[in-house]
Amino acid sequence: MKTNKKNEICEPHTLNREKIEEVKKLMISDEKVKALAETFKTLSDPTRTKIIYALFLSELCVCDLANVINLSVSAVSHHLRVLRNLKLVKFRKEGRVVYYSLDDEHISNLFHEGLEHILE
């Protein structure tokens, strides 16, 4: 379906200065924008998305996680390190076994909302 570019912009071109100032006051800092963009960039990797989904379903050790997503333990460990550095996943040790889970409810909610969006 062909879109009409004219329908995608305001006509005539006008500015709502009150709204502009209101939104500018509420905008997040460039530092926070970069951190948020980095989070989404990290989650855009299909392997990391699989890892997040698996951990959304259950806490898993690295070996089990590698088996679930059909990757080597070292490859999974690399991706987990990236996810851990952005505080998307956390780990706990039980003896010699390291278990991973999503870092907090925010990550679960973010993943769940994204999943709901694509399933609509």
pLDDT at position 1 is: 45
Fold of domain 12-119: Arc Repressor Mutant, subunit A (1.10.10)
**How far is the C-alpha of 89 from the C-alpha of 81, rounded, in Å?**
9
For the chain, state the CA radius of gyration: 20
Cα 78 to Cα 31, 48, 62, distances in angstroms = 26, 10, 11
Q: Is the pLDDT of residue 7 over 50?
A: yes
Q: Cα separation of 106 and 116, whole Å? A: 15
| Token duo for residue 60 | 């898993």
Q: What pLDDT does 13 receive? A: 72
Query: Cα–Cα distance between 43 and 35 in angstroms, integer?
Result: 12
This prediction has a pTM of 0.79
Per-residue pLDDT band for 14 (boundaries 50, 70, 90) equals confident
Average pLDDT of span 71-99: 96
